[in-house]
Amino acid sequence: MSSTIKVLLAEDQSMVREALAALLGLEDDIEVVAQVARGDEVLPAAREHDIDVALLDIEMPGATGIEAAAVLHRELPAVKLVVLTTFGRPGYLRSAMEAGADAFLVKDAPAAQLAEAVRKVLAGERVIDPTLAAAALAEGANPLTDREREVLRAAEDGSTNAELAAALHLSQGTVRNYLSTAIQKLAVRNRAEAVRTAREKGWL
Amino acid sequence: MSSTIKVLLAEDQSMVREALAALLGLEDDIEVVAQVARGDEVLPAAREHDIDVALLDIEMPGATGIEAAAVLHRELPAVKLVVLTTFGRPGYLRSAMEAGADAFLVKDAPAAQLAEAVRKVLAGERVIDPTLAAAALAEGANPLTDREREVLRAAEDGSTNAELAAALHLSQGTVRNYLSTAIQKLAVRNRAEAVRTAREKGWL
DNA sequence: CTCGTCGTATGACATCTGTCATCCGGCAGT
DNA sequence: ACTGCCGGATGACAGATGTCATACGACGAG
């Protein structure tokens, strides 16, 4: 091994981030050279530190790990991307791969897989949970239009049609139409279930 | 230092759990002697390993960290309890303290606080984020009755009144009454918002 | 014993939500 | 040029939801 693998770690929960850093620190060939807590701090930190691999949590303020991955892929294509998430949602996997991720790990996988994944992506391999990959393929693509997603996202907190209409500059009837079509596409019975299953599939 | 502090670590996400173990492993005076991934495995593991401190994540299958804390407090009162959670919900803090927790940490606190908390609880101190403590006190107690909570919990996934009535062996009208009073108590405008704010406050 | 609260229930009413048909303008394929 | 889809809108209707008054038995506090 010529020199250590330089890793950027992006994860918003300090305790988890520093714990993961400690875990990776146990590996002789890996060095965590930068840590950030927000998605929008990833690119600047990556530029500053000349890293080999970026380890990105999806759920972060500022920008999601997937958005950060897309930016890194465009701006620093040599950097390998490992996306890490609590939720093994097939839609997340799909978006992550589209954003140029080289590996996709869920946090309830064994810890040993983390260092493994870092080494493998650097060797040019891709690391993906086969079960999840199958699920992502089986599920098909996101059937929702942009607007439908927007309305669903806005409806998540329990806003009424009137509030949604005001917030999105739409008529109340249009809001209901979008929700109605979304409900049908998702084969559920009301907006709450629609929001739920769309989230679950990673389609929001 | 007479001997090392023996810690049980309960957290369902392997990667996080093992990372936290690695973090604690860096401390000379602390030793993680047992790890479990489910709330209902806490007591047996604690019995087997003769531990000083239990570190309990709240969000776990089997039983929540708070439930596990209550059980440990009753069965092994000598064991100190550190409750750890992603969500700094005041209601969680309240329940954790009622369950006999000695420390309450949120995962986005600095990692150093974890080892600190372990040492402090062993020394008989209590460790609580002052901001969170203030919020818990300011918020007052949970105003919802048992049944209202049950119905709200059941309504979380978007079930209709008919489904809720069937699931809870109630009449449809009664379900609506409970939801109505819950909505009023929480000062919101529909069940979705009610579920949301109740969750947020840790009242479910 | 009485008062308040909880769990449960009903009926009536007003409003919100979900569905459907229908329409328009824009834009991408063929 | 035609077809189809998307974004946007309206109106009508049925069904779900939220509110309110009211009722009853159980139970704990006073």
Under 8 Å between Cβ of A68 and A43 = yes
Cβ–Cβ gap B158/A190 under 8 Å: yes
In chain B, which residue's Cα lies nearest the Cα of A193? B158
Residue B74: CB partners within 8 Å, gap ≥ 6?
B100
Q: Tell me which chain A residues have a C-beta less than 8 angstroms from the C-beta of B190.
A: 158, 160
The reported pLDDT for the residue numbered B116 is 95
CA angle A128, A129, A134 (to 5 degrees): 100
Inter-chain CB pairs, A–B, below 8 Å: 107
Write out chain A residues lying below 8 Å of B118, CB-based: none
Return chain A residues 158..177 having CB < 7 Å to nucleic acid strand C.
160-162, 173, 176-177
CB A179 within 8 A of CB A155: yes
Residue nearest to nucleotide C11 (CA to C1'): B173
Asked whether the beta carbons of residue A113 and residue B15 sit closer than 8 angstroms, the reply is yes
Nearest C-alpha of chain A: how many angstroms from B23?
Answer: 5
Q: Which two tokens stand for residue B113?
A: 């606080």
B-chain residues near A159 (CB < 8 A): 193
Name residue A27's amino acid.
E
- Contact yes or no for A111 and B14 at CB 8 A: yes
Phi/psi-derived region of residue A169, left when phi > 0, alpha when psi is between -120 and 50, beta in every other case = left
Type and span of the H or E element at A105: strand A103-106
Residue with tokens 């550190």: B82
Instruction: Round to a whole number and report the distance in Å from the CA of A67 to the C1' of C6.
Output: 50
Check A109 against B189: CB less than 8 A apart.
no
Six-digit token string for B79: 């064991």
What are the Cα distances from residue A2, in Å, to A9, B62, B177? 22, 46, 70
Q: Which amino acid is at A182?
A: A
204 residues of chain A, pLDDT tens digit each: 558 999 999 999 999 999 999 999 999 999 999 999 999 999 999 999 999 999 999 999 999 999 999 999 999 999 999 999 998 888 889 889 989 999 999 999 999 999 999 999 999 999 998 888 888 877 777 888 888 999 999 999 899 999 999 999 999 999 999 999 999 999 999 999 999 999 988 888
Q: pLDDT at position A95, please?
A: 86
DSSP notation for A2-41: -SPEEEEEE-S-HHHHHHHHHHHHTSTTEEEEEEESSGGG
Beta strands in A114-199 (DSSP E): 127-128
Please tell me the predicted confidence (pLDDT) of residue B2.
58
- Is residue B87 scored above 90 in pLDDT? no
* Positions in chain D where some atom is under 7 Å from a protein CB: 6-12, 16-21
B23: nearest CB among A18, A188, A190: A18
Which chain B positions have a beta carbon within 8 Å of A13's beta carbon?
Answer: 86, 107-108
pLDDT surpassing 80 at residue B138? no
What is the nearest CA distance from A150 to chain B, expressed in angstroms? 18
Nearest CA in chain B to A111: B15
What does the pLDDT look like over B105-130, one tens digit per residue?
Answer: 999 999 999 999 999 999 999 999 88
- Domains of chain B with CATH codes: 5-137 (3.40.50.2300), 146-201 (1.10.10.10)
DSSP B62-130: SS-HHHHHHHHHHH-TTSEEEEEES---HHHHHHHHHTT-SEEEETTS-THHHHHHHHHHHTT--EE-H
Best mutation target, B9, B12, B16, B114, to test chain A (most A CBs within 10 A): B16
Span CA (B147) to C1' (D25), Å: 17
Specify the DSSP class assigned to residue A187. T
Q: Is the dihedral of CA A95, A96, A101, A103 positive or negative?
A: negative
In 3-state terms, chain A is what percent helix, strand and coil (to 5)? 50, 15, 35
Across the interface, which of A13, A15, A19 has its CB nearest the CB of B22? A19
- B163 token code pair: 């489904």
Whether A15 sits inside 8 A of B111 (CB atoms) is yes
Distance in Å, residue A167 CA to nucleotide D7 C1': 17
Among all chains, which residue has been given the structure tokens 């401390």? Answer: B27
- What distance in Å separates the CA atoms of residue B20 and residue B15, rounded to the nearest whole number? 9
Characterize A57-83 residue by residue with b for buried, 16 or more Cβ atoms within 10 angstroms of its Cβ, and e for exposed: bbbbeebbbbbbbbbbbeeeeebbbbb
